[in-house]
Structure 1
Amino acid sequence: MKAKKEKDLSYKSSPDYVPMKEKLAYGCGALMDGGGVALMACVMLKYMTDTLGIVAASASTIMMVSKIWDAVTDPLMGSITDNTRTKWGRRRPYMLFGGVLLIIALALLFAPIKDWWGITSQAGMIAYVLIFYIVWNTCSTLTQVPYTSMASDISPSFHERNNANTIKLVFSAVASGLAYVLPLLILGAREKGTITGTTFWIVMVAVFGTMFGGGLIITGLFTKERVKPEKVEKKKFNLKEFLKGYIQPYKNKSYAWHIGMYVSAFACMDMLSALAAYYASHVWRGVKMTLPIVGEMTFSSMFIIAPIMVAAVLAFPLVRIMMDKKGKAFAFRMGLPFYILGGILIAVLNPQMGCPAWVIPIVAFLMGFGFGGAQMIPWMNFPDTLDVAEL
């Protein structure tokens, strides 16, 4: 017992050790990492089409243009943060001032432009949303690329990285759950006239602006970068070398497989979250559900997204145990049959075939349990993939 205690004390005094307080501070940055993506995936399209009245084709084009913009700015930001050298590190400064910029960008994006500035024409609304959605995505890139890269900088120890990234994923999943459910409820209240556009804006900025921006500022203030970058010779920007950066990483097989895992898992989740509101309002239109304590409620996307996210979080401990015992590959694959089966059932089941509404949350929970490994393992693999690339 004494030997074990001495070993624990020795380990905690190691420069590679990350205290729990710091791991929690690191996890706070994932409030934006998971919640920001979920918020835009779940709300943005519906906000543009149903609240502002932008035609669906234009709204989809805005989303596409923003993704193309991301494809340019993300690698550029990666190069910038990798070559940054300050006494605060190469990642943290961007979280500190980027967190403030995110709050401002969110406030501008969801400003009630019809009520405040009388922008009601299609051209005016499209131009406004396009500009400030790109601003939002730029601020997101400014913070999320350094934050994601910090996964390999927080400690050289695989054990400490895995622990820190497990905590990060819990924060991410909780934020995703809130961002999937709460904004749709607020947006629904605005569309019904229960609250004004200004009230909607205040809630969005106060809740999500504070959560996303504040979380990143906490990470920037209270975490350390234990892996020090090598000194590199400063070079002028070379467009040819920059463009090579889009192809070069795929020569690393570990990176290519990692990207395949990540895209496959999260593209499905992004599509589901974007379509859930339409699925609820069109397939299950007007269907009522009776819940304990709450009483009767109209079926909404909350009954799909909330069970998925709750089940995913509950699955994390099991995924971690399986990862330690049987490896990351097994932990990733073990839940996929549930994920696939749940997706098929949600696509097939509908009230016209006599399916009761309470079945859908159960199916969504099953799907979420399978999603736990698909969500967790790509992030656990990420710092390892970077290490392989540097060898």
Structure 2
Amino acid sequence: MTGEPLSLKLYIGWSLGTLGLTAFMVGSYLLLRFMTDYMAVPPAVAGLIFALAKIYDGIADPIFGSLSDRTQSRWGRRRPYLLGGAFACGLTFMLAFNAPVAATQTGAIIMLAALLILHATSYAIFAVPYMAMPAEMTDRPHERSKMMSFRVVNGSLGNLLGGWATATLIAYFGGGLVGHRMMGIIVGLVIFAVLMSCFWLTRGARLRVVDMKTHPPYKAQMKAALRNRPFVILQSAKLMLLSAAGMHTASAAFFVQRRLEMSDAWLGTIYATLTIGTIVAQPFWLWLARRQGKRTAYTLGGLYTALVWLAWLPFGPGTAEWIIITIGLLAGLGNGGIVMISQSMLPDTIEYQYRISGQQIEGSFAGLYIMVEKLGQAIGASMVGLVLGLFGYIESKAGVAVDQPASAITGITLAYCVFSTGFLLASVAVMRFYPLDERTMALRGA
């Protein structure tokens, strides 16, 4: 393997992008409840709007990736997008939770759809070039695993910001519309600051200079990606994993409030314990991935996490606090493995493409990767809205309290515990076909 080990500053600086992006994404899942409980949008319609915005975002992702492949600047191919994306993400997060309450349901739907499209575009501007950077920064698969372990730690802190901090801020400012609006402003500013730090601290990252005369056109890049078997398998497994995560996350606020009958502060507690478990587990998953291979480690992490998600099933109102904290911690231990390992596989598949073809199309691969992430999130969020609608969930306006029927509580529980677990197990099954490891990568090397 070639290339020197990366500096600690680059590990931290690059991975800070994940802290901001994760907070941006996780905090955005509160928009689903914001739509139903404060904008009087029916849950099935809210889920559909959320899904369509994600699908639009997914279509745009490969385009932004290809643009970043072709960009030439003194900051390299990727970092100009990090600068623009930092401003866009911070601003659109604030706008999303500060939308006025529309006079009509149609007006609310149109306004929220427009905000979500802006929201999705902002994410793509930063995230796609950002995810293309690791393949340029180092040639070593284990270095990439280390990068992704830093990314997972910062992703966990992003979960803390997007989950615990958002819920806590809403409660601190008295809940309701005022609580959501104040949270949006504060968290939006923090997201901007974190993403700007990523831009600044990665200024010393290694760059690949590309001869644009020999750079393949966009269609050729897409065909090359689809012929890359490890990449296609990874994408298929990620689609199922992100569908699982999207469904689990989008239904979490409903589960805590309606099934457990607890405040948003406890939603924050669950995110906090999940974060602690994820961070604590990183050394173990790094060791296991290197010793047993990434595919085996992913399988074990996925099966373990599925069992923990199902453990929520018997619990309802009056659940002891120590049980909620324990399940949150246990879920974090598994989450740390499946997230870090699946993310570290992306630069491996990009490097594989470079070694077999000489093509430097990291941005296009990252764009397709994030496109699948968005499709998975769209499937998860829309499934939650669909399930709630089918099971009779009643929407409300401006946070007016509504007693939900027992069928709606059943639907929430199934979405959070059972259906999401089904997607996760499908991801584990697909990933069993993933062929790359450090040995096969070494054989392909020069």
Question: TM-score under structure 1 normalisation?
Answer: 0.82
CA contact (8 A) 1:307 1:365 kept: yes
Counterpart selection for 1:361 from 312, 316, 325:
325
- Contact 1:16–1:160 under 8 Å retained in 2: no
Determine the structure 1 residue equivalent to 2:258. 282
* Offset of residue 102 of structure 1: 1.7
Which residue does the alignment assign to 2:199? 220
Distance in 2, matches of 1:326 and 1:283, equals 39
* Corresponding residue to 1:349 among 301, 314, 328: 314
**Which structure's CA Rg is the greater one?**
1
Find the counterpart in structure 2 of residue 301 from structure 1: 267
The total of aligned residue pairs comes to: 353
Superposed displacement of residue 179, structure 1: 0.8
Cα pair 1:24 1:167 within 8 Å, conserved: yes
State how far apart, in whole Å, the 2-side matches of 1:198 and 1:267 are: 31
Q: Could you tell me which of 33, 56, 59 is aligned with 1:46?
A: 33
Partner amino acid, structure 1, of 2:151: K
**Relative contact order: is structure 1 or structure 2 higher (C-alpha 8 Å, sep ≥ 6)?**
2
Cα offset, 1:31, TM superposition:
1.4
**1: CA distance, partners of 2:332 / 2:243:** 15
| Shift in Å, 1:326 | 2.3
- Cα distance in 2 for partners of 1:44, 1:355 equals 27
Q: Does 1:372 align with 2:340?
A: no
Structure 1 unpaired stretches of 5+: 1-13, 287-296
Paired residues of 2:169 and 2:179 also in contact (CA < 8 A): no
Q: In structure 2, what is the Cα distance between the partners aligned to 1:255 and 1:110?
A: 36
User: 2:163 aligns to what?
Assistant: 180
What are the Cα deviations for residues 314-363 of structure 1, in whole angstroms up to 9, with x where unaligned? 111110111222222232222233211112221x21337x8645423323
Task: Give the match for residue 249 of structure 2.
Answer: 273
Matches within 5 A, 1:1-391: 16-41=4-29, 43-114=30-101, 119-188=102-171, 194=174, 197=177, 200-206=180-186, 208-223=187-202, 224-233=204-213, 241=219, 245=222, 248-285=224-261, 300-346=266-312, 348-351=313-316, 356=320, 358-390=322-354, 391=356
> What residue ranges of structure 2 are gaps of 5+ in the alignment?
357-446
Contact 1:29 1:212 in 2 (8 A): no
Structure 2 residue aligned with 1:3: none
Q: Which amino acid aligns with 1:252?
A: N
Which amino acid is 1:78 matched to? G
Q: Deviations for 1:291-313, whole angstroms, at most 9, x for unmatched residues?
A: xxxxxx78843344332232122
Distance 1:339 1:185 in 2: 26
Q: Is contact 1:249-1:255 (8 Å) kept?
A: yes
SS at match of 1:153: helix
CA contact 1:112–1:198 (8 Å) conserved in 2: no
- The TM-score, its normalising length taken from structure 2, stands at 0.72
1:122 & 1:302 partners in 2: Cα distance? Answer: 30
**Which sits farther off after the overlay, 333-342 or 225-234?**
225-234
Coordinate RMSD, CA, aligned: 2.7
